[in-house]
Amino acid sequence: MSVRVRIAPSPTGKLHIGTARTAVFNWLFARHHGGTFVLRIEDTDLERSRPEYTENIMQGLSWLGLSWDEGPSYQTQRLALYQQKVQLLLDQGLAYRAYDTPAELDAMREAQKAQNQAPRYDNRHRNLTPEQEVAYQAEGRQPVVRFKIDDNREIAWKDLVRDAVSWQGRDLGGDMVIARAAEADQIGAPLYNFVVVVDDIDMQISHVIRGEDHIGNTPKQILLYEALGATVPQFGHTPLILNQAGAKLSKRDGVTSISDFEAMGYVPEALVNYMTLLGWSPPEALGELFTLADAAKQFDFERVNRAGAKFDWDKLNWVNSQYLHQMPPAQLTDLLLPYWQAAGYAADLDRSWLEQVSALIATDLVRLDEVATKTRYLFVADVGFTAAAQAQLQLENVGTALEGVAVALEANSPLSAENVQSVIQAGVESAKVKKGLVMKSLRAALTGDLQGPDLVQSWLLLNQRQMDLPRLKQALAVAAGGTA
Ligand code: GLU
């Protein structure tokens, strides 16, 4: 049997990290088996579904590299098929029309509550006579369609993640509604559990891999597969993503949608790598940093954990930084450019200079969006000096040392990796101080701060744009002010 899996998002919000992680597991499983990954948009909730969410979901999946082989198909375009299948169950006596009014259903539930019973439909319209039906219709009642659930059935399956799972028919809430109320000669809008099964059968889905929050739907769906005469697929319910407190990750935990992670400066290869680790323990030989394609070679459900996976920002940041550290400067520059542009920096700068900045900053970055702050000293004319830098510049002999550097610089520009050391040495000799003091003071003078990326490399970049001498002069004014 060929492997066919699907991701079936509802476009009622932006692509959520939980849905995306489910998509990762489906994708890995499909690729591992040379199977097919299908995208289905579950847009039957007309009130809450929006085309812009569909767009966001597809963009997010593509951005993460989770390419699909079939689809997207839209449930709203398949209503005729669902109605035909509802009719089939009615014709076979496996489903029936129920005429209960909302008030009657409420009264039933109140009575159950009063007796401390779990709310359920008591199947009271399962065996109406034709005369009773006609009488209800004459009252103007619009029936729903209910699917018969045998209270005495045990529904069991071997879950890919959770192994043996079993439910009792009596715990499923009574005969279930599969189509909303409509005139008795029509079929109303079909409901979620039903359309999922009709689609999964029609699309020949072999493995239904989805979040654990759907586990309660699975026994009902298995009964529907049987009623529709189809082979029941294999099910795998993947652990939820939890916040640090152990509750399901939600909007209240801050960023949860993939496009927000993108805007924060996470790169897709890193985010998808991290998401794979959320619930899957890779074999040791693979390590923790891998491409989706490499993970697909190794992926199986043996290594998917049952317990919920805690979302860990520190780990995500570490994974992201590892990708940035090893990225070729040209590629990194493409990614950094929008951030520099947004800060108003990069408009007329040449590409090779920017690539050198990227190479310099790569090992310092955790997220792309930090780049404007961390490289500001390379772009702006008036960098300003932090209090610590000012204090450094005002130390004894620093003015003299920087004077010596400035004089040597004028004689040696353009600066290169070769002649920069002699320029530094000129500072050491003119003030008769240790090289360490000169280096620290140069950092203060050239970058405006006491810490940052490699100093000599930063200086060479400033020198290429003739920004170093003016900055030394600004620093000398601070130093002179301090010593005067
Ligand atoms: N549409 C459902 C959701 O977005 C998924 C249904 C399924 O995977 O069976 O949660």
pLDDT tens digit string along 346-376? 878 899 999 999 999 999 999 999 999 999 9
pLDDT of residue 481: 57
Banded model confidence at residue 26, pLDDT cuts 50, 70, 90: very high
Banded model confidence at residue 413, pLDDT cuts 50, 70, 90: confident
| Nearest Cα residue to 424 out of 410, 411, 409 | 409
Tell me, using a 6 A CB cutoff, whether residue 327 lines ligand 1. Answer: no
Alpha-carbon dihedral 246, 248, 249, 252, rounded to 10 degrees: -100
Q: Ligand 1: distance of its center to the CA of 285 in Å?
A: 33
Name the class of domain 251-325.
mainly alpha
4-71+194-239 folds as Rossmann fold (3.40.50)
Q: Which long-range contacts (CB under 8 A, 24 or more apart) does 48-56 make?
A: 48/10, 48/12, 49/10, 49/11, 49/12, 49/76, 50/11, 50/12, 51/11, 53/11, 53/12, 53/13, 53/14, 54/11, 56/14, 56/15, 56/257, 56/259
| Nearest Cα residue to 393 out of 402, 404, 384, 381 | 402
User: Parallel, antiparallel, or unpaired: how do β-strands 70-74 and 36-41 relate?
Assistant: parallel
- pLDDT tens sequence across 215-230: 999 999 999 999 999 9
Contact indicator for 96, 145 with CB cutoff of 8 Å = yes
The residue type of 101 is T
Task: Report the nearest atom of ligand 1 relative to the CA of 200.
Answer: 9
Structure tokens given for 222: 């298995």
Give the residue, 136 or 481, on which the prediction is more confident.
136
Residue boundaries of the structural domains of the chain: 4-71+194-239, 80-192, 251-325, 327-379, 387-479
**φ and ψ of 347, to 5 deg:** -50, -50
- The preferred substitution site among 38, 54, 214 for testing ligand 1, maximizing ligand atoms within 8 Å of CB, is 214
Please calculate the CA angle 136-139-142 and round it to the nearest 5 degrees. Answer: 65
Tell me, using a 6 A CB cutoff, whether residue 42 lines ligand 1. Answer: yes
Q: Which residues are catalytically annotated?
A: 251
Banded model confidence at residue 450, pLDDT cuts 50, 70, 90: very high
Tell me, using a 6 A CB cutoff, whether residue 10 lines ligand 1. Answer: yes
Q: Ligand 1: distance of its center to the CA of 1 in Å?
A: 24
Nearest CA to ligand 1 atom 3: 9
From the number of C-beta atoms within 10 Å of its C-beta (0-12, 13-18, 19+), residue 229 rates as exposed
pLDDT of residue 307: 92
pTM above 0.85, yes or no: yes
User: Terminal CA-to-CA distance of the chain, rounded, Å?
Assistant: 86
pLDDT of residue 255: 81
Give the SS3 label for residue 49.
coil
Name the class of domain 387-479.
mainly alpha
327-379 folds as Helicase, Ruva Protein; domain 3 (1.10.8)
Give the SS3 label for residue 126.
coil
For the cut 80, the answer to whether the pLDDT of residue 51 exceeds it is yes
- The preferred substitution site among 42, 195, 224 for testing ligand 1, maximizing ligand atoms within 8 Å of CB, is 42
How crowded is residue 191: how many other Cβ atoms within 10 Å of its Cβ? 19
Tell me, using a 6 A CB cutoff, whether residue 238 lines ligand 1. Answer: no
pLDDT of residue 482: 46
pLDDT of residue 484: 36
Q: What distance lies between CA 137 and its chain's CA centroid?
A: 50
- Cα 55 from Cα 198, distance rounded (Å): 25
Nearest CA to ligand 1 atom 7: 8
From the number of C-beta atoms within 10 Å of its C-beta (0-12, 13-18, 19+), residue 21 rates as buried
Contact indicator for 12, 45 with CB cutoff of 8 Å = yes
- The preferred substitution site among 74, 210, 222 for testing ligand 1, maximizing ligand atoms within 8 Å of CB, is 210
From residue 331, alpha-carbon distances to 115, 152, 201, 328, 342 in Å are 67, 61, 43, 6, 18
80-192 folds as Glutamyl-tRNA Synthetase; domain 3 (3.90.800)
For the cut 80, the answer to whether the pLDDT of residue 1 exceeds it is no
Contact indicator for 59, 13 with CB cutoff of 8 Å = no
For residue 455, give every residue at least 6 positions away whose Cβ sits within 8 Å of its Cβ, in sequence order, or none: 439, 442, 443, 446, 447
If you average pLDDT over residues 386-411, what whole number do you get?
97
Q: Ligand 1: distance of its center to the CA of 69 in Å?
A: 18
Please tell me the least confidently modeled range out of 42-46, 135-139, 325-329: 42-46
pLDDT above 70: percentage of residues in the chain: 99
Indicate the average pLDDT of the chain: 96
User: What Rg value do the Cα atoms of the chain yield, rounded?
Assistant: 33
If you average pLDDT over residues 145-150, what whole number do you get?
98
Tell me, using a 6 A CB cutoff, whether residue 18 lines ligand 1. Answer: no
Tell me, using a 6 A CB cutoff, whether residue 100 lines ligand 1. Answer: no
Q: Ligand 1: distance of its center to the CA of 390 in Å?
A: 59
Q: Ligand 1: distance of its center to the CA of 208 in Å?
A: 10
Q: Ligand 1: distance of its center to the CA of 297 in Å?
A: 26
Tell me, using a 6 A CB cutoff, whether residue 9 lines ligand 1. Answer: yes
